């Protein structure tokens, strides 16, 4: 009896412990839900203001959220709880915000969840939609903190300083991942504080922000004017070390609303679930129309390098392992110039890609294709099937005007365009081409483009001839040069005393709406008549299925 009594007592204690453990799990789960509910946060990409859509995942926004999401995963111990607290939307093109699906969904979200933060990733062309998002959020929930970041903000800091104010509660420029996380900490620690009170607390925590990694800053309006906090504040701004991608956690794709649908918009890979991945930042070239170039080239042996070193290969492997586990089948590398890496690095990367068996593609330059010629067969074996190149224009004078001299329009560093396409075709690689029209003339006081029906016809005819000769050319994208903040074109024009309304849509009409970013501000001389001619002539000369407009 004593033995049985002891056994019964032990079972009772065991059941009590199990009950207590279950209670703790229930309490922990309830706590997670309460935390998520009390700190609902929405981040979204401001949508393109047209029917076109930049398909795929918002890589930059996800990197900006990587530190915050990683911390929340540690706290909540549940990705589902993190996803409930941190939602990321990537809306489709929205020509008119009023009455749009986005307006309706955002209204419902704000009313139901009353988010403490709404973050918006902006581009110049989509900035008006960012303002619409801000206005709707503030109308429905005045104390919600609205944060702007993204490419437009990165290149508009000097403009905001001259202007003396910003258009959101906070603007984050440069490396923002740690700054955003620190701001989030303040807001979640003070859930009932107003926007002005949060700004006061940010000022008091200036030292904490100053210890953040990366080269970034955060602007905010106050009664005393525009103020900021900066990372690495104790170091001169021109000596601050920018973040490298392998200093950040893997990007939290699981936060994306409709992740699977977004991952299947890269139609070049059919319906395969496709991840956009980066292994390097910046570009070693300095094309006049682009803000990502460093305006000079560095070389490592015979290969150009991006502005920052490529990611540690072990860090890349961790991402490939994760993608494979999550069912991804293809990768498009988002690097501005993917082949701008050393051959040693590329060889190691190819080994990884072959090991994990992804189909993949990338964007690069004509010159870098030839510099990587010896590795192209191995690239093909590792899964490379598609290369996108910016030919931009075939007219020599036009190319000279934006920094891509090819000696009379036929050769670049000794290689003809036919040489390049033949090399890609011989290696079984499909190719996409970008053409750009309307480049400004630096010699003109008004930067009026030299583009004409003759120069445009020449580029379109050359492309049509090459497509007939090289069936591996999958398609061509036609673009009109648009002024963006931070590009050599724009900076040069501003030095001439000209003002550019980067966020304006002066050409929101046909035929401009048919071109990528065609509704924005263009150089003088890109008239309705010239744009219509380019559109019509391209449709005559290039097969419909290969004309990406």
Task: Kindly write down the DSSP assignment for every residue of 34-92, as one continuous string.
Answer: HHHHHT-EEEEEPPPSSS----S--HHHHHHTHHHHHHHHHHHS-HHHHHHHEEEE-PP
CATH topology of domain 39-239: Rossmann fold (3.40.50)
The rounded Cα 498 to chain-centroid distance in angstroms is 29
CA distance 106 to 51: 19
What is the biggest distance separating any 2 CA atoms in the chain, rounded to whole angstroms? 106
Radius of gyration in angstroms for the set of CA atoms belonging to the chain, rounded to a whole number: 26
Tokens for 147, please give them. 């944060």
Bridge-based pairing of strands 384-392 and 330-333 is: unpaired
- Supply the DSSP symbol for 244: P
Q: What angle do CA 61, 67, 69 make, to 5 degrees?
A: 80
Nearest residue to 323 (alpha-carbon basis) of 274, 391, 270: 274
- The confidence score (pLDDT) of residue 241 equals 82
Residues of the chain with pLDDT below 70 are 1-39, 52-54, 284-286, 292-309, 397-414
Cα–Cα nearest to 48, from 155, 121, 143, 136: 121
Check if the beta carbon of residue 371 is closer than 8 Å to that of residue 339: yes
pLDDT at 285: 66
Amino acid 54: pLDDT: 58
What pLDDT, on the 0 to 100 scale, is given for residue 425? Answer: 97
The domain defined by 263-390 carries CATH number 3.30.2420.10: no
Determine the Cα–Cα distance for residues 463 and 437; give it in Å rounded to an integer. Answer: 13
d(CA 421, CA 407): 18
Q: What is the pLDDT at residue 240?
A: 79
Domain boundaries, given as residue ranges, for the chain:
1-35, 39-239, 263-390, 393-549
Which pLDDT score, from 0 to 100, does residue 403 have?
A: 62
8 Å CB contact between 441 and 449 = yes
């Amino acid at each position: 009896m004593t033995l049985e009594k002891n056994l019964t007592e032990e079972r009772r204690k065991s059941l009590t412990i199990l009950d207590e453990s279950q209670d703790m799990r229930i309490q922990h789960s309830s706590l997670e839900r309460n935390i998520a509910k009390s700190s609902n946060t929405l981040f979204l990409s401001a949508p393109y203001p047209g029917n076109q859509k930049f398909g795929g995942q918002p890589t930059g926004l996800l990197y900006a959220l990587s530190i915050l999401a990683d911390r929340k995963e540690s706290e909540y111990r549940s990705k589902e709880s993190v996803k409930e607290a941190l939602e990321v939307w990537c809306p489709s093109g929205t020509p008119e915000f009023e009455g749009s699906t986005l307006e309706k969904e955002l209204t419902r979200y704000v009313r139901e969840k009353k988010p403490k933060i709404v973050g918006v990733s902006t581009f110049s062309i989509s900035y008006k939609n960012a303002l619409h998002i801000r206005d709707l959020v503030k109308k429905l929930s005045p104390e919600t903190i609205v944060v702007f970041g993204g490419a437009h903000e990165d290149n508009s800091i000097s403009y905001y300083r001259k202007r003396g104010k910003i258009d959101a509660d906070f603007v984050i420029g440069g490396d923002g991942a740690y700054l955003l996380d620190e701001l989030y900490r303040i807001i979640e620690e003070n859930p009932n504080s107003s926007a002005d009170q949060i700004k006061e607390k940010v000022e008091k925590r200036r030292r904490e922000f100053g210890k953040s990694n990366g080269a970034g800053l955060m602007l905010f309006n106050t009664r005393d004017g525009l103020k900021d906090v900066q990372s690495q504040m104790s170091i001169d701004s021109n000596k601050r070390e920018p973040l490298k991608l392998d200093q950040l956690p893997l990007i939290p794709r699981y936060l994306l609303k409709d992740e699977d649908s977004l991952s299947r918009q890269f139609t070049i890979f059919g319906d395969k679930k496709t991840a956009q991945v980066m292994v390097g930042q910046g570009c070693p070239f300095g094309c006049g129309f682009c803000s990502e170039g460093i305006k000079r080239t560095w070389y490592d042996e015979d290969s150009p390098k991006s502005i920052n070193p490529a990611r540690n290969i072990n860090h890349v492997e961790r991402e490939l392992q994760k993608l494979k586990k999550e069912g991804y089948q293809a990768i498009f590398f988002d690097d501005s110039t993917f082949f701008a890496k050393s051959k040693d690095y590329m060889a190691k990367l190819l080994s990884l890609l072959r090991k994990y068996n992804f189909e993949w593609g990338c964007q690069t330059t004509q010159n870098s294709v030839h510099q990587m010629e010896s590795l192209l067969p191995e690239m093909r074996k590792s899964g490379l099937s598609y290369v996108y190149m910016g030919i931009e224009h075939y007219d020599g004078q036009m190319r000279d005007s934006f920094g891509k001299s090819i000696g009379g329009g036929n050769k670049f560093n000794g290689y003809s365009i036919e040489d390049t396409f033949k090399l890609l075709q011989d290696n079984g690689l499909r190719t996409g081409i970008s053409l750009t029209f309307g480049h400004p003339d630096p010699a003109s006081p008004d930067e009026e483009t030299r583009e004409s029906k003759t120069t445009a016809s020449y580029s379109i005819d050359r492309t049509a001839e090459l497509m007939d000769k090289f069936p591996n050319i999958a398609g061509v994208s036609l673009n009109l040069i648009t002024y963006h903040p931070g590009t050599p074109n724009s900076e040069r024009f501003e030095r001439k005393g000209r003002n550019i309304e980067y966020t304006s849509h002066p050409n929101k009409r046909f035929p401009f709406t048919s071109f990528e970013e065609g509704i924005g501000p263009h150089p003088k001389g890109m008239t309705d008549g010239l744009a219509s001619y380019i559109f019509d002539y391209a449709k005559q000369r290039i097969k419909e299925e290969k004309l990406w407009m």
